[in-house]
Copies of this chain bind each other. A is one copy, B any other.
Amino acid sequence: MGKLREPLSELATCGLPSALEVMGERWSFLILRAAFNGLVHFEEFSSELGIARNILSNRLSRLVENGVMRRSPCEHDRRKIEYRLTEKGHDLLPAMLALRQWGEKYGENVSPELVLVDAEKGQPISPISIHAADGRELGWHDLAWKARDEVGKDGKGEGC
């Protein structure tokens, strides 16, 4: 450990603040989860989540603004509106599952009856984790920082 001191101010420009700006507010992740589970209408989100209507309205707008969801009026019933995940929204699935798995591992009274499985084989998915390009699983101490413009030169960094 150590050796990670100098890059710190540099790290301020990493993707995390940017991600949190979009998904960091209360409810955003729960709305996302509901969307993954097939909910599309305002009233569905409202009654599933028990969130206040003005906040829900605000969050949906923000998610749409940020390209995570798409808002489209319903054809056959023009009172209704559909909120659906975009590609960008679908790309949040790993982050959401990682968070969720962590919550399940450590949460107090969390032992869900239902489990996510690989639909083809019926086996539970494996815990989300970090992998090297060649597939080896990595922990924090197996990682190092490297300047973007010189990846793939030496080897044997000293990890953290």
Contact = CB atoms under 8 A, between A and B. Distances in A.
A8 B29 contact: no
B143 A110 contact: no
Report the copy number of this chain in the oligomer. Answer: 2
A90 to B, nearest CB: 6
A123 B132 contact: yes
A73 interface: no
Chain A contact-residue range equals 35 or more
Interface string A56-99: 00000000000100000000000000000000101111111111
Given A23-B99, A98-B128, A124-B151, A48 B8 contact: yes
Contacts of A30: 16-17, 20
Q: Rank and list the top 4 A-B pairs by shortest CB-CB distance, nearest first.
A: A15-B103, A19-B103, A18-B107, A15-B104
